[in-house]
Amino acid sequence: MTIKTEHLRDFKALLPENQWTEDQNIIAPHLSEWRDKFHGSTPLMLMPMSTADVQKILILANKAEVNLSIQGGNTGLVGGSTPGLENREEILVSLKKMSRVEAPCSDTMTITVEAGAILSTVHTEAEPYHFPLSLASEGSCTIGGTMATNAGGIHVIRYGTMRHLVAGIEAVLPDGTIFSNLGGLKKDNTGFDLQNLLIGSEGTLGIITKAKLKLFPKPNTLVTGWLSVHDIDKCLPLMNALQTLSNQGLHAFEVMGKTGLDFVEKHMAGKAPVSQLAPWSILFDIEIEGPDSLEKALAECLDSGAITDAVIAQNKAQQKALWALRENLSEAQKYEGGSIKHDISLPLEQLASFMKQAPHRIQSIVKGARPTPFGHFGDGNLHYNIMQPETMAKETFLNHWPEMNAAIHDLVCSMKGSISAEHGIGTLKREELALRHPEKVAAFKKIKAALDPKDILNKGRVI
């Protein structure tokens, strides 16, 4: 369906000339994303400067029945922010010009920012406080995008996902109603929780324009450690022991399989801090009073056989070197050919069982395929990647993607896990969500139809 010329004219008339463009050269970077999986199109990009601008856009979109695609930093991985997919015609609304960041408030330990602010800018502006959301894309992702997708990252074990870091929001609902909740109240029982409904709805139920974010004191010096573990069953008790020892002081607790670390050593000049890699390696950051107690506890774990090696970084350079091993896991896999990826989460008590069962399911589909799991074990979140067998053609292997996904997700769902832990649904996982959770999607559709009866906002995403 083509957007009528008169409607394009009306949208352009809403905003000053520097807040819209039809120049396809300027628009181009907004039409694809870094994995190069989704390619979209749009005749017009609008760049509101205020909540009032967003309101005007939504009111007109409803009147003209024109679809809108909402975009922050365009760093999503599931085709949520690309306009014009699936033969829709959509006007693109980019929040990037709404990027004001207020000074942090020390009385309330909060910072108020507009949706288009870049995450790393917020890190800087929050000084001397700490805004803990930390993502690989933090140099380009926006606060609005991290709210729309309830972003996760490395430090969820300590601070929770984005949802838990938001003290208040301002948003425009699909019909143009402004919902303003910027008081940052810690207690407010005046009806349904619209704020949490909007956070994580991937721009389908409203456009979040502003947020009051929670700040934290800068953590004390973190101790970084590496543990070798032979038995995956030991990981959860180890994590709980470290939490108890440090009064819930873990800031990260990552588990990595040997296969992936072998790739890092082979292709990325990485060097594990132990003479021989165990089947499982743990990397952790911990805030702890008196590191002696940590050393003592690890010595006991060595004695009991729970771990077979333990290394504590002695300085910043060593900390960085340990983290580089973890951070290079994704890159190193590229040298080994095709990879089928999963962004799953599991109840903590099911993680070990999953790790044991999944390889059998994989082998029954492609013999020789190599599971390369790693991830935020402390949050139950695994990036469960499966590398092609060494001798198979990449394309042949990748043709098994749907079958492999189905097998892994079957196992995940049988264990009450999630088929999208942190990346969201977007366009990519919409059909599978409907298949896996028809009861949830039925409720989502009712809520969407109630708040956005003309399906103006981010149509085709999530549901």
Contact set for a copy of itself, span 171-190 (CB under 8 A): 173, 177-179, 182-190
Tell me which of 96, 423, 427, 457 binds a copy of itself, using CB under 8 A. 423
Burial 291-307 (b: 16+ CB within 10 A, else e): eeebeebbeebeeeebb
Size of the site for a copy of itself (CB under 8 A): 83
Question: Is residue 52 near a copy of itself by the rule CB under 8 A?
Answer: no
- Dist CA 306 CA 303 (whole Å): 8
Minimum separation from the CB atom of position 95 to a copy of itself (A): 20
139 or 183: CB nearest a copy of itself: 183
14 or 415: CB nearest a copy of itself: 415
229 or 463: CB nearest a copy of itself: 463
Helical packing angle, 291-304 and 235-245, nearest 10°: 150
Question: Is residue 163 near a copy of itself by the rule CB under 8 A?
Answer: yes
12 or 163: CB nearest a copy of itself: 163
22 or 431: CB nearest a copy of itself: 431
Tell me which of 6, 36, 107, 395 binds a copy of itself, using CB under 8 A. 107
- Dist CA 309 CA 292 (whole Å): 17
* 190 CB burial (10 A radius; 0-12, 13-18, 19+): exposed
- How distant, in Å, are the alpha carbons of 43, 46, 273, 295, 333 from that of 26? 12, 12, 47, 55, 33
| Interface stretch with a copy of itself, choices 36-44, 84-92, 259-267, 422-430 (CB under 8 A) | 422-430
For 201-268, what is the HEC assignment?
CCCCCCEEEEEEEECECCCCCCEEEEEEECCHHHHHHHHHHHHHHCCCCEEEEEEEEHHHHHHHHHHC
Residues between 358 and 417 with contacts to a copy of itself, criterion CB under 8 A? 376, 379-381, 415-417
Minimum separation from the CB atom of position 241 to a copy of itself (A): 11
Minimum separation from the CB atom of position 267 to a copy of itself (A): 29
Question: Is residue 447 near a copy of itself by the rule CB under 8 A?
Answer: yes
CB distance 259 to 371 below 8 Å: yes
Residues between 317 and 356 with contacts to a copy of itself, criterion CB under 8 A? 345-349
Minimum separation from the CB atom of position 218 to a copy of itself (A): 11
275 or 304: CB nearest a copy of itself: 304
100 or 446: CB nearest a copy of itself: 446
Question: Is residue 419 near a copy of itself by the rule CB under 8 A?
Answer: yes
Tell me which of 366, 421, 428, 457 binds a copy of itself, using CB under 8 A. 421
* 316 CB burial (10 A radius; 0-12, 13-18, 19+): exposed
313 or 346: CB nearest a copy of itself: 346
Question: Is residue 170 near a copy of itself by the rule CB under 8 A?
Answer: no
Residues paired with 92 in a beta bridge: 45, 69
Question: Is residue 152 near a copy of itself by the rule CB under 8 A?
Answer: yes
Token pair 């190599």 is at which residue? 370
- Dist CA 195 CA 169 (whole Å): 7
Residues between 237 and 276 with contacts to a copy of itself, criterion CB under 8 A? 237, 240, 244, 247-248
61 or 433: CB nearest a copy of itself: 433
24 or 248: CB nearest a copy of itself: 248
Minimum separation from the CB atom of position 177 to a copy of itself (A): 5
Tell me which of 19, 41, 108, 357 binds a copy of itself, using CB under 8 A. 108
Minimum separation from the CB atom of position 103 to a copy of itself (A): 13
- How distant, in Å, are the alpha carbons of 61, 225, 251, 312 from that of 222? 50, 10, 8, 11
Strand positions, DSSP E, 119-184: 166-172, 178-181
HSE at residue 244, side-chain half, CA atoms within 13 A, is 7
Helices (H) and strands (E) in the chain — how many of each? 17, 16
Minimum separation from the CB atom of position 259 to a copy of itself (A): 23
370 or 376: CB nearest a copy of itself: 376
Tell me which of 14, 64, 105, 268 binds a copy of itself, using CB under 8 A. 105
Helix (H) or strand (E) holding 440: helix 438-451
* DSSP secondary structure code for residue 439 in this structure: H
Minimum separation from the CB atom of position 105 to a copy of itself (A): 7
* 48 CB burial (10 A radius; 0-12, 13-18, 19+): buried
Task: Report residue 309 as tokens.
Answer: 């090696």
- Dist CA 383 CA 375 (whole Å): 5
206 or 270: CB nearest a copy of itself: 206
3-class SS of residue 370: strand
Tell me which of 44, 122, 425, 428 binds a copy of itself, using CB under 8 A. 425
Tell me which of 137, 161, 224, 427 binds a copy of itself, using CB under 8 A. 161
Question: Is residue 221 near a copy of itself by the rule CB under 8 A?
Answer: no
